[in-house]
Structure 1
Amino acid sequence: MTQLRTVQVLGGGSAGSGTHVRSLASGLVARGVRVTVCAPAGPAHAYDFPGAGADFAPVPRRGDPLSVAALRSVCRGADLVHAHGLHAGVRAATALSGLRVPLVVTWHTRARGHLVSLLERRTARAAAVVLGTCSELVDRARGRGARDARLAPVALPLPTPRTEEESLSPDKARAELGAVGRPLVMSVGSLVPDRGYDVLLDAAAGLRDHGSALGPLVLIAGEGRERAALQRRIDTEELPVRLLGHRDDIGDLLCAADVAVLPSRWEARSVLAQEALRRGVPLVATAVGGVPELVGDAAELVPYGDAAALADALRDLLATPARRAELARAGRAQAATWQTEDDTVAQVLSIYDELVPPLRRVASR
């Protein structure tokens, strides 16, 4: 049987899409598929695609003729091309123009604006199959003219076990973070406007009357262009919030927290939500995008942009240990229902087999 040859096209390599492509490449290679990843140099270094057994072809995240020609050259020898993200999908569709190579596109997130709508229509109509990581994205793809749109949840890899020397105990983590004797609220994500951290700061101001002597401390791990503005506000208003910057020990930080919080404007399959529920950390999140179907009844959900509702949910949860314990149990149970990495690879490979059956691969050689 002729080996299936695929090209995986990655754009900027966000935490979700980059991790997914690394996982997918590893699983496909293990099943005998030849995988070439086309991505800018940054994501390639961060996710070590060759370490997953994939070939790597550096292609800048640009739509200029030279970049598109470089992508076309790689895709010309493939049985199938799978692009991850809207802009990667547009570039792949352009590169494949005139070639009889099927295109699969995974939509990991959404954006707004007239130009985005035009790009979505172009990508949806060019793809043989559009995969959405949540039901809202599947509906969006159908509305944009996709011939075939399907739900394909992206599995978050299980954390690599760490030794006691590598891990911080919850008590040590709290001491390092200055949260001894006070409730600890944890958020993780890029410091960009759509993450909703302005609303979280509003809510933090409303938490200062909490019954604890020191009141809750809110920690935000992540970097981004909003950092300076957020820090100025924290300093000016003397808010009980600390910006931690980039951290490699998110698991330890979450395990030390009393509550995790996700204040985003929109999410498909939030990495923070998945990590929190897996670890049994009670979660307060905005009821947006794919969050409700991801967490089910295992989190407290509030409307986006409602700082008072967010503060109330955090305050009530911090004051009710029994409810936190209930959510911890529910979170672990909900996480056990999610699709695994193997499930994700099997689903994607079955779609590839539909589009490029083995006999067609043999006949094309």
Structure 2
Amino acid sequence: MLRPRILLLTTCYPSCEGDPSGVFIERLAIEFRKKGHHVGVVCPSDGSFFGRRVVNGIDTVRFGYFRPRSFLRLTKGLGGIPENLSQSWLARIQLFPMMFFFLLHTLFEVRRFDIVYANWLGAGIIGAITNMLTGKPMVVSFRGDDGYLARDRVLWRALTLWVSSRAGVVAPVSEELRNVLAAVGIAPAKLRVPRFGVDAELFRPPTSRPNRSDSIQAVFVGALIQKKGLQDLIRALADPSFKHVKLVVLGDGVMRDRLVEECNELGLSDQVEWMGQRPQRDVADIMANSDVLILPSYTEGKPNVVKEAMASGLPVVATRVGGIPELVDDGKTGLLFTPGDVAQLRHCLKQLIDDKDLRSRMSRAALESLRCKALSWEATVEDFEGIFECVLEAARATLRGSRSCRRSM
């Protein structure tokens, strides 16, 4: 049986081994290829390289859109395009050339593919224009801010609705985001929430965790930007009762220097270890040697890091935002709190830190929860294959109807 050829459009994709940017998109592409699909990727360059490469069997096109390379801002860094647009005037003036060259490269590549799968609104706009010009069927995924901003911003909402009107299926990452998109006007029948998997071979509980009778190791994974809330976690740790808690920070971003300075001012320099961006293998090893994941974000889609922590047998302390409550069963697999509430965060931390048995129970419950939800990459591919076949069949039916009409005229 011939498998549909899939062209992935994304504004975020790893540029080298160990680059965490959009690593879940790369993993999805690899899993599609394992199932026999021919997969291509079109993505703006982050300045590391331009042109075509075959990486892990995936035909990848990284295009340039601004010179010199050292001035690239729009698609560089871990914060994503919305964050970069809010922080840099250079990023704002690069938006139009990036979209222009994105469209040109997509139109050139799409001839060899059966279906377009666009990730985030920016790529969705390119997919929608491509669909309008070529008739190529499209599926689009909204992953977080790109969907939530449609609630509050008129232009964002108009673009979201137009992109969705050109898509055969809209595939948000969470039920909560699905409800948001339905509320702004996308037909519920067009919305499908696939399962998004976790690598249970890489992220797995250790045979035994380090025996730290007098200390606890917490881990934070994410971009060091305002909306990730690390500043709240640092303030929570300033409580004298948390002197035995060590925090490992995995990530980088525009707030790093400010956060390090705040740690020093609060006397936490010996408790917080800044490890920067790390490849997935290192993240998995550090999680396996930690006791709890803390994610104090102000906004999220359905964060992969939560699934990775649960697969590693870690209880999760996180904010009650986005798709997090769909993953974390409050009081059973972790503890949830209100974003920005440092006192609540302290209370959650104290519960877990003071009760080793509670941590053990939550660890077992997290592993069982992932098993019951069947959050594997195989399940992700299965769900998307069903979505793609549905969209392609609808496109074929439309084409047959169009030909029938022409014959009868």
Shorter-chain TM-score above 0.5 = yes
Residue 219 to residue 31, structure 1, CA distance change in 2 (3 Å): closer
Contact kept? 1:136, 1:290, Cα under 8 Å: yes
The answer for the alignment partner of 1:218 in structure 2 is 247
Residue 189 to residue 159, structure 1, CA distance change in 2 (3 Å): farther
In the alignment, the residues of structure 2 paired with residue 49 and residue 156 of structure 1 have an alpha-carbon distance, to the nearest angstrom, of 26
Whether 1:25 aligns to 2:12 is no
- Deviation of 1:231 after TM superposition, in Å, equals 0.9
Contact kept? 2:214, 2:244, Cα under 8 Å: no
The answer for the alignment partner of 2:276 in structure 1 is 245
- Deviation of 1:17 after TM superposition, in Å, equals 8.0
Contact kept? 2:300, 2:321, Cα under 8 Å: yes
The answer for the alignment partner of 2:376 in structure 1 is 340
Query: Which of 241, 244, 248 is 1:209 aligned to?
Result: 241
The count of aligned residue pairs is 347
In the alignment, the residues of structure 2 paired with residue 44 and residue 294 of structure 1 have an alpha-carbon distance, to the nearest angstrom, of 35
Structure 1, 19-28 or 31-40: larger mean CA deviation: 19-28
The answer for the alignment partner of 1:197 in structure 2 is 230
In the alignment, the residues of structure 1 paired with residue 119 and residue 48 of structure 2 have an alpha-carbon distance, to the nearest angstrom, of 14
In the alignment, the residues of structure 1 paired with residue 20 and residue 302 of structure 2 have an alpha-carbon distance, to the nearest angstrom, of 8
Query: Which of 193, 199, 203 is 1:157 aligned to?
Result: 199
- Deviation of 1:256 after TM superposition, in Å, equals 2.2
Deviations, residues 242-273 of structure 1 (Å, cap 9, x unaligned): 32222342222222222221111122222221
Structure 1, 330-339 or 60-69: larger mean CA deviation: 60-69
In the alignment, the residues of structure 1 paired with residue 277 and residue 20 of structure 2 have an alpha-carbon distance, to the nearest angstrom, of 16
The answer for the alignment partner of 2:168 in structure 1 is 128
Query: Which of 229, 233, 238 is 2:258 aligned to?
Result: 229
Task: Work out the percentage of aligned pairs sharing the same amino acid.
Answer: 25
The answer for the alignment partner of 1:4 in structure 2 is 4
Structure 1, 337-346 or 235-244: larger mean CA deviation: 235-244
The normalised TM-score by structure 2 is 0.76
- Deviation of 1:63 after TM superposition, in Å, equals 4.3
**Equivalent residues in 2 for 1:241-280, closer than 5 Å:** 241-248=272-279, 249-280=282-313
- Deviation of 1:351 after TM superposition, in Å, equals 1.4
The answer for the alignment partner of 1:354 in structure 2 is 390
Residue 118 to residue 298, structure 1, CA distance change in 2 (3 Å): same
Deviations, residues 33-55 of structure 1 (Å, cap 9, x unaligned): 2221111345998xx98344332
Unaligned runs of 5+ in 1: none
Give SS of 2:164's match: helix
**Equivalent residues in 2 for 1:86-105, closer than 5 Å:** 86-105=121-140
Give SS of 1:356's match: helix
Amino acid in the other structure paired with 1:7:
L
Contact kept? 2:13, 2:26, Cα under 8 Å: no
Contact kept? 2:6, 2:114, Cα under 8 Å: yes
The normalised TM-score by structure 1 is 0.84
- Deviation of 1:342 after TM superposition, in Å, equals 1.1
In the alignment, the residues of structure 2 paired with residue 51 and residue 321 of structure 1 have an alpha-carbon distance, to the nearest angstrom, of 44
Deviations, residues 200-241 of structure 1 (Å, cap 9, x unaligned): 1121112x224xxx4322221111111011011111221243
**Equivalent residues in 2 for 1:140-155, closer than 5 Å:** 140-147=180-187, 148-155=190-197
Amino acid in the other structure paired with 2:277:
H
In the alignment, the residues of structure 2 paired with residue 161 and residue 190 of structure 1 have an alpha-carbon distance, to the nearest angstrom, of 20
Amino acid in the other structure paired with 2:124:
G
In the alignment, the residues of structure 2 paired with residue 49 and residue 341 of structure 1 have an alpha-carbon distance, to the nearest angstrom, of 24
Deviations, residues 151-189 of structure 1 (Å, cap 9, x unaligned): 113112234499xxxx9x965xx9xxxx89422221111
In the alignment, the residues of structure 2 paired with residue 107 and residue 325 of structure 1 have an alpha-carbon distance, to the nearest angstrom, of 35
Residue 281 to residue 3, structure 1, CA distance change in 2 (3 Å): closer
Contact kept? 2:171, 2:194, Cα under 8 Å: yes
Residue 116 to residue 255, structure 1, CA distance change in 2 (3 Å): same
Amino acid in the other structure paired with 1:129:
V
In the alignment, the residues of structure 1 paired with residue 350 and residue 328 of structure 2 have an alpha-carbon distance, to the nearest angstrom, of 20
Give SS of 2:42's match: strand
Give SS of 2:249's match: strand
Amino acid in the other structure paired with 2:25:
V
- Deviation of 1:133 after TM superposition, in Å, equals 0.9
**Equivalent residues in 2 for 1:321-336, closer than 5 Å:** 321-336=356-371
Contact kept? 1:130, 1:141, Cα under 8 Å: no
Q: Say what the alpha-carbon RMSD is for the aligned residues.
A: 3.2
Give SS of 2:118's match: strand
Residue 180 to residue 242, structure 1, CA distance change in 2 (3 Å): farther
Deviations, residues 80-122 of structure 1 (Å, cap 9, x unaligned): 1110111111122223333211110011212435243333223
Unaligned runs of 5+ in 2: 65-74, 76-94, 401-409
Residue 204 to residue 271, structure 1, CA distance change in 2 (3 Å): same
Residue 337 to residue 2, structure 1, CA distance change in 2 (3 Å): closer
Contact kept? 2:169, 2:391, Cα under 8 Å: no
Residue 139 to residue 341, structure 1, CA distance change in 2 (3 Å): same
Contact kept? 2:218, 2:290, Cα under 8 Å: yes
The answer for the alignment partner of 2:403 in structure 1 is none
Whether 1:37 aligns to 2:41 is yes
Amino acid in the other structure paired with 2:272:
V
